Structure 1
Amino acid sequence: MTALTQFERLEAQGSWRETPEARLREVIVSVGEATLTLSDPKSERPLSHWSLPAVTRLNPGKLPAIYSPRADGPDETLEVDDPLMIEAIDRVQRAVLARQAHPGRLRGGLTLLTALAMAAAAVVWLPDALTRHAANIAPPAQAFAVGNAILADISRSTGAVCERHSGQAVLDWIAPKLIAEDAKIRVVPSPVNGARRLPGNLYVLGNDVLLTAPGPAAAAGHLMAAEMAVSDKELLLNALEYAGTRAVLQLLTLGTLPEKAMHGYGETLLQQPAPPPDRDSLLKAFREKGIPSAPYAHSLDPTGASVLDLIKEDPYRDSPPPKALLTDPQWLALQQICAG
């Protein structure tokens, strides 16, 4: 006990009562490193040892000071009127109280540090976790709504979605055969660098591909490439990361994004190059769907220099496909989707 350094070997007379019913007995009280020793004054034989931290004063502020080795139902008591001894024991009490306060302060500090660490982790980890969770559990209708919001933003740059009924009917007919049962294709007046896939299996195609190609194979190739290049979940995750945590929370709780959550995202998307699909997988898809790959290749590079593999390995290079992708009236209606 550092509090008692100056009181080492301190001794004083006191009166000790072994039990509440026993008579007071003179003892020598000596202070050790961590104990209070009560000894017989004649034989110097120790009669009792008290733990200094546990010593309790029963009558604060009064003399003689009365102490007990424990506060709850004291059996032994000690009366001391020596001021120096009283000061020594009282100093121990203060030291003990100070010691007891430190763990609490330490626990409080540790608790605060833990809370701050958790808060910092939440700031870093929670937004990403929420966004990924929202992207993973979003039903198809919700993903399609996000895709439509992006398409609306794209149309601010490209012009409104072309809605001529006869042309859209062709797209609705070909989409399940070309891409997937729930796929939706929309055409915009301006180029979008081929075709772009949006969340909810929604595809946007630039009208330039329809007007400059000799047939529908080039547009079909762009749509298949967009479908194979990136997954719907990845597209939705990217869109929600752009929307931000607050928008994601609204999507999780209310089922809809804020009205302007995708504002600017469509334009940003168009400024980025379309992700390329795996060439071997794409050629396989051309073969399985009965579509030549050369028209798609020439729409990417009219010289053919950078797409020779798609031209040389065209599954229908030497013979026409078994069946035309669209009839002539269907192709004409599709080319006129943005007219009027």
Structure 2
Amino acid sequence: MTALKEFQRLEAEGVWRATPGDQRKDVIVSLGDASLTILDLRGNVLAHWSIAAVARANKGQHPAIYHPDGDPGETLEFDDKSADMIDAIEQVRSAIDRSRPKPGKLRFWITGAIAATVVGTIVFWLPDALLRHTVQVVPAVKRNEIGDALLAQITRISGQACMTRDAREPLRRLASRVLGPAQRGALVVLPAGVAETAHLPGGRILLNRSLVEDPEEPDVTAGYILTERLRALTQDPLEEMLIETGLWSSLRLLTTGQMADADLEHYSEFLLTRMPVHLSDEVIIAGFEMAELRTTPYAYAVDITGETTLPLIEGDPMIGLQPRPVLSDADWLRLQGICGE
């Protein structure tokens, strides 16, 4: 699904807020290929929204307020001066909605006639076209199910996720502080398997226990969590998975709503062994600034000498400021015992 041609590269002024507790910012919003890019007044990218995952909080009212589906805390407002942008977003959202499968109709996808049509059509589709279409129509609930299935595969290798009664709420508070209130349940601490961090479709972030037990301050752990979230934002995690598992994996998900066990097993092993995606210093610094986190503790954790991470140290966006604490001392101590003895 692409944006309507007459609206491609449309720009408008808006007001953006990352979380309910953040200050509202004047921004420039650019409408591209079925996506919204949110930039500050200096041209720095603050966020990138897929219109397929955008919801309107106040249909028919003004100013128009939008938010990512499932995260009403992050908002984007347009006043009447941006009527063209509002109209464009609504038309693109309507076009995308018409292409989605209706809830409760998935069982009909596997009927003989539709399956035959899909199989016949696939001969003429480019693999990347099928991939893009599949990624666009899979709803958030299904992404969560796939993430759960992958986590089940991973824990067969790593062992069950760490959790103690005392650490449960500190872990949720850490997730809320770094990722936002809508992601309180996103963090999973594993005793082994993952080298440092990894992310799954649906939003979960996996942490090796050493990133919780070893650092002297929670800012280090928060830095690893946020950096992994930034990696997840560089490419849709579901798209990344379908690229790795192949064309038939996309076709199976599109027609049946399911992933094969073999594909889940293959991708879980891939996640645990691949090299992390490299992020530029500029992207990391911008992400830490939005989250009000210091880059210096993370930089020294990555390289104790600071030589290879000097730009993160010198560019720490919180220098001279007093950012909100990541966790209280008591919560940090309880969290460090999450894997027990």
1:163 aligns with 2:163: yes
The residue number in structure 2 matching 1:216 is 218
Which residue type is aligned with residue 221 of structure 2? A
1:141 aligns with 2:141: yes
For the residue of structure 2 that corresponds to 1:178, the secondary structure is helix
What is the deviation of 1:317?
4.6
| Structure-2-length-normalised TM-score | 0.57
> Alpha-carbon deviations, 1:69-115, whole Å to 9, x = none?
xxxxxxxxxxxxxxxxxxxxxxxxxxxxxxxxxxxxxxxxxxxxxxx
Q: Distance in 1 between matches of 2:324 and 2:243?
A: 43
Which residue type is aligned with residue 222 of structure 1? Y
Equivalence map 1:217-296=2 (5 Å): 217-231=219-233, 234-296=236-298
Which stretch has the larger CA shift, 196-205 or 236-245? 236-245
Equivalence map 1:165-180=2 (5 Å): 165-180=165-180
The residue number in structure 2 matching 1:19 is none
Contact 2:303-2:309 within 8 A present in 1 as well: yes
The residue number in structure 2 matching 1:301 is 303
Q: Distance in 1 between matches of 2:304 and 2:124?
A: 47
CA 1:247–1:313: 2 relative to 1, 3 Å: closer
Which residue type is aligned with residue 328 of structure 2? T
Q: Distance in 1 between matches of 2:163 and 2:199?
A: 19
Which residue type is aligned with residue 271 of structure 2? L
The residue number in structure 2 matching 1:106 is none
Q: Distance in 2 between matches of 1:137 and 1:120?
A: 20
Q: Distance in 2 between matches of 1:182 and 1:322?
A: 21
What is the deviation of 1:221?
0.9
For the residue of structure 2 that corresponds to 1:305, the secondary structure is coil
Q: Distance in 2 between matches of 1:285 and 1:214?
A: 22
The residue number in structure 2 matching 1:327 is 328
Contact 2:177-2:326 within 8 A present in 1 as well: no
The residue number in structure 2 matching 1:67 is none
For the residue of structure 2 that corresponds to 1:240, the secondary structure is helix
Equivalence map 1:196-207=2 (5 Å): 196-207=198-209
CA 1:236–1:205: 2 relative to 1, 3 Å: same
What is the deviation of 1:127?
4.8
> Alpha-carbon deviations, 1:200-224, whole Å to 9, x = none?
1111111111122111111111111
> Alpha-carbon deviations, 1:262-301, whole Å to 9, x = none?
1031222222221133322322332343322111111211
Q: Distance in 1 between matches of 2:280 and 2:231?
A: 7
What count of residue pairs does the alignment treat as equivalent?
221
What is the deviation of 1:188?
0.6
Rg larger for: 1
Q: Distance in 2 between matches of 1:213 and 1:141?
A: 34
Contact 1:191-1:207 within 8 A present in 2 as well: no
CA 1:176–1:139: 2 relative to 1, 3 Å: farther
Which residue type is aligned with residue 231 of structure 2? A
Which residue type is aligned with residue 230 of structure 1? A
Which residue type is aligned with residue 334 of structure 1? L
For the residue of structure 1 that corresponds to 2:308, the secondary structure is helix
The residue number in structure 2 matching 1:33 is none
Which residue type is aligned with residue 315 of structure 1? P
Unaligned stretches of 5+ residues in structure 2: 1-118
**Identity level (%):** 29
Contact 1:242-1:262 within 8 A present in 2 as well: no
**How well do the aligned residues superpose, as a CA RMSD in angstroms?**
2.8
For the residue of structure 2 that corresponds to 1:262, the secondary structure is helix
Which residue type is aligned with residue 138 of structure 1? V
CA 1:124–1:300: 2 relative to 1, 3 Å: farther
What is the deviation of 1:336?
1.2
Equivalence map 1:117-132=2 (5 Å): 122-123=122-123, 125=125, 127-132=127-132
Contact 2:173-2:327 within 8 A present in 1 as well: no
Which residue type is aligned with residue 125 of structure 2? W
